[in-house]
């Protein structure tokens, strides 16, 4: 087991000492899940459990990103312990540096997609390199960066005793903003969309389509980052519960109690503030944090207490190099989706010409098989790093 820090990307067969293996496995499950749901063979034929809820609601797919955000909070607590949770030049430098690096990795991936498509569409190399007019500024990696940076500094400045009140305050303020700003409507007057249009501009936002209505609406928008920070800080507080005792059974009790309270609170709040990932609603925060806490408790019981570890080696390869594996999946997805063999992309050839016939022309099954194969290809790289004990650290 290893002793990594918040957003560090580390690996190794078994990992360095002092790490909670169950946390690595939960991290690995979420990274594998993120790669899986982001890479169906066809976006028009997605296996139902691997689809996001179109607007309000919750599917298994809606859990993967918030689970990772929760884990990041737990890991951040473990990382900041060595600084005794006191603001210092060393701590500030580390947090700022990692925030900037993770943010720019996300921008680099977005730029790479535009660059590669530009080159393949016969744009000049210079035009492709400087194609920033439609680059998406926000996204998964930028959101992780903001939440890590702001969340870490907030936790240190406020202190753990006052942190629950700060979290509650963030969620209450965001709830008021949503209720007053048409936040539960998928429309141009939604306050989240309005803010992103004003600050980022529509050319730098994600476009979504719901019930035939297409709208520039970013699920990782600026305003919805506020509850995401609260989300990360709930994970931070759960990290404190975990590290407050060395008894794994006590850890399980604490996590199950917190998980149950948060999950039921989220489901109850759903009646007034619907669970919605795309706006990261307060009910979504509470429900997914509660489920993540309970799932982590279950993994501690299975892995760290009962010692059932063989089944989880696959996920450990993702969990010890999490952000690297996510970036690898993103880059590989761009390449196979853009590079063509004849008039069809590599992805299209695999899906249409190979998997469709094998699956009896069942488009949905072929799409699922492609996603599973794609995860397997990424795992091969992760497993090599795992066996060679290679730690890729940001």
Could you tell me the mean pLDDT of each successive run of 10 residues in the chain, 394 residues long? 35 47 93 94 89 93 96 94 91 94 93 83 69 85 95 94 96 97 93 93 87 89 96 96 92 96 97 95 98 96 90 90 93 91 87 91 93 96 91 78
Give CA separation, 64 vs 52, 149, 300, 345, in Å: 10, 21, 19, 28
Token pair of 16 as six digits: 């360095």
Given a contact cutoff of 8 angstroms between Cβ atoms, the answer to whether 284 and 275 are in contact is yes
Q: Is 162 helix (H, G, I), strand (E, B) or coil?
A: coil
How far the first Cα of the chain sits from its last, in Å, is 19
Q: Is 294 helix (H, G, I), strand (E, B) or coil?
A: helix
Token pair of 157 as six digits: 């400045």
Give CA separation, 324 vs 10, 71, 206, 320, 378, in Å: 9, 16, 23, 9, 10
Provide the β-strand partners of residue 393.
Answer: none
Give CA separation, 159 vs 75, 81, 83, 312, in Å: 17, 12, 13, 35
Name 380's Cβ contacts closer than 8 Å, sequence gap at least 6. none
Domain ranges of the chain: 46-307
To 10 degrees, the CA torsion angle through 120, 31, 143, 138? 20
Q: What is the pLDDT of residues 287-346, one digit of tens each?
A: 999 999 999 999 999 998 998 888 888 999 999 899 999 999 999 999 999 888 878 889
Token pair of 77 as six digits: 């607590």
pTM, rounded to two decimals: 0.90
pLDDT of 19 reads 64
Q: What is the pLDDT of residues 213-241, one digit of tens each?
A: 889 999 999 999 999 999 999 999 999 99
pLDDT of 6 reads 34
Query: CA 150 to CA 160: how far, in whole Å?
Result: 15
pLDDT of 212 reads 82
Fill in the DSSP letter of residue 53.
P
pLDDT of 129 reads 75
304-333 burial code (b ≥16 CB/10 A, e <16): beeeeeeebebbbbbbbbbbbbbbbbbebb
Q: How far, in whole angstroms, is CA 204 from its chain's centroid?
A: 20
pLDDT of 126 reads 66
Given a contact cutoff of 8 angstroms between Cβ atoms, the answer to whether 315 and 299 are in contact is no
Q: φ, ψ for residue 340 (rounded to 5)?
A: -110, 150
Query: CA 50 to CA 48: how far, in whole Å?
Result: 5
Query: CA 228 to CA 222: how far, in whole Å?
Result: 10
Q: Is 389 exposed, middle or buried (0-12, 13-18, 19+ CB in 10 A)?
A: middle
Question: Within 159-224, where are the H helices?
Answer: 163-180, 191-199
């Amino acid at each position: 087991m290893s002793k990594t820090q918040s957003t560090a990307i580390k690996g190794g067969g078994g990992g360095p000492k002092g790490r909670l293996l169950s946390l690595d496995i939960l991290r690995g499950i979420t990274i594998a899940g993120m790669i899986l749901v982001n890479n169906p063979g066809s976006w028009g034929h997605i296996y139902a459990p691997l689809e996001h809820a179109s607007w309000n609601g919750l599917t298994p797919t809606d859990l993967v990103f918030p689970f990772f955000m929760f884990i990041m909070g737990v890991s951040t607590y473990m990382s900041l312990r060595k600084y005794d949770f006191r603001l210092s030049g060393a701590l500030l430098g580390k947090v700022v540096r990692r925030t900037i690096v993770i943010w720019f990795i996300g921008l680099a991936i977005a730029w790479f997609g535009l660059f590669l498509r530009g080159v393949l569409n016969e744009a000049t190399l210079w035009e492709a390199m400087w194609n920033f007019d439609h680059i998406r500024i926000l996204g998964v990696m930028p959101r992780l960066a903001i939440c890590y940076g702001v969340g870490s500094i907030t936790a240190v400045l406020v202190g753990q005793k006052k942190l629950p009140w700060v979290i509650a305050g963030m969620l209450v303020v965001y709830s008021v903003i949503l209720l007053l700003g048409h936040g539960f409507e998928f429309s141009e007057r939604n306050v989240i969309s309005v803010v992103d249009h004003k600050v980022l501009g529509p050319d730098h936002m994600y476009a979504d389509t719901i019930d035939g209505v297409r709208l520039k609406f970013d699920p990782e928008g600026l305003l919805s980052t506020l509850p995401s920070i609260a989300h990360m800080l709930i994970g931070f507080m759960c990290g404190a519960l975990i590290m407050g005792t060395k008894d794994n059974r006590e850890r399980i009790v604490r996590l199950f109690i917190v998980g149950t309270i948060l999950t039921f609170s989220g489901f109850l709040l759903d009646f007034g503030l619907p669970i919605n990932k795309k706006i990261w609603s307060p009910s979504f925060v509470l429900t997914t944090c509660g489920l993540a806490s309970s799932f982590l408790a279950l993994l501690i019981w299975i892995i760290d207490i009962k010692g059932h570890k063989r089944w989880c080696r696959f996920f450990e390869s993702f969990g010890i190099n999490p952000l690297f594996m996510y970036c690898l999946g993103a880059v590989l997805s761009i390449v196979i989706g853009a590079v063509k063999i004849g008039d069809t992309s590599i992805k299209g050839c695999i899906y249409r010409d190979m998997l469709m016939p094998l699956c009896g022309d069942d488009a949905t099954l072929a799409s699922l098989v492609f996603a599973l194969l794609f995860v397997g290809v990424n795992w091969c790289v992760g497993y090599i790093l795992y066996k060679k004990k290679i730690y890729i650290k940001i």
